[in-house]
Amino acid sequence: RNISAARQPVKHDTEKNKAQWKTMGPAKVAVPSQKNFLKKHSKEPKLPERKKEQDSKKLPALSVPQRTYHPVTEIQNRKNFINANVVAAVTALPKKPQPIYVDRRQGDKYLLETSGLVPKYIKKKDYGVTPKYVTQRNEEKKRAQKEYEASILEHLQKVAMKQLSDEERTSLLQGLKKNWEELYREFQCLPVEIDTILKRLYKEKLESQMRQLEHDIEVIEKHKVIYIANE
């Protein structure tokens, strides 16, 4: 078998150092000297020594007044406050008691002014007066309505619209009714049996014309003011 070349040196070093650790720690320990004993306050931190330059500096002047300083006092007031208070108390008006109300049988009292039972609001000067913003809003609404009507009239004038008078409206209505009566007379003259295509088409034509005339008559009777375009 192969044998390591470092076997003998390692074995020698192990046997050499093994005897030193048979006790707690090394066998030979350096014993402290008796002269280097622990002194009092030896482990406390030491401040650096004060330099001479700092001692030579002068302290700043303080803003504290000196002991010999006497401030100038005002002239002493010779008013007799006792007599003044007596006169004020005699001539003062008696204090009016505040109105109160009691709402429990235990006699608990509360101020009447802050309870809401006193009708303060109806005694205001502007009570019942329309607010300014409402009046302003109504005026703006009326002005907008006038501007709208003016724009409508201007538009009607641009497109050259003409308003029918009462006589023209009456004559137009009578003419439409007369035409409807003529068409109705023709409709009644139709045969009972519609057996051809031409008769059926003619009947449908009369019915459509009569419906259109009835619609026009209803519109004219419903609206009193009618505008027509000038050709």
DSSP string, 34-45: SSSPPPTTSSSP
**Distance (Å) of CA 124 to CA 90, 105, 119, 120, 135:** 37, 34, 10, 7, 20
**Would you state the pLDDT for residue 138?**
94
Give the residue from 174, 169, 171 showing the smallest Cα distance to 224. 169
| Lookup: tokens for 89 | 């108390």
Give 3-state DSSP helix, strand, coil % of the chain, rounded to 5.
50, 5, 45
**CA pair distance 186, 196, nearest whole angstrom:** 17
Confidence (pTM): 0.33
Residue range 112-128: mean pLDDT, rounded: 82
Q: Which of 68-82, 106-120, 137-151 has the highest mean pLDDT?
A: 137-151
CB 99 within 8 A of CB 115: no
Q: What is the pLDDT of residues 178-222, one digit of tens each?
A: 999 999 999 888 888 888 888 889 989 999 999 999 999 998 888
CB 157 within 8 A of CB 230: no
Count Cα neighbours of 212 within 13 Å in the Cβ-side half-sphere. 8
**CA pair distance 100, 112, nearest whole angstrom:** 5
| Lookup: tokens for 98 | 């505040």
**Would you state the pLDDT for residue 148?**
93
Give the residue from 225, 224, 222, 203 showing the smallest Cα distance to 214. 222
CB 96 within 8 A of CB 113: no
**Would you state the pLDDT for residue 162?**
75
| Lookup: tokens for 66 | 């000196």
| Lookup: tokens for 212 | 């259109």
Residue 55: pLDDT above 60?
no
What SS3 class is residue 110?
strand
Helix axes 197-222, 166-188, angle to 10 degrees: 160
**CA pair distance 140, 148, nearest whole angstrom:** 12
Predicted confidence band of residue 137 (pLDDT cuts 50, 70, 90)? very high
Question: DSSP assignment, residue 123?
Answer: G
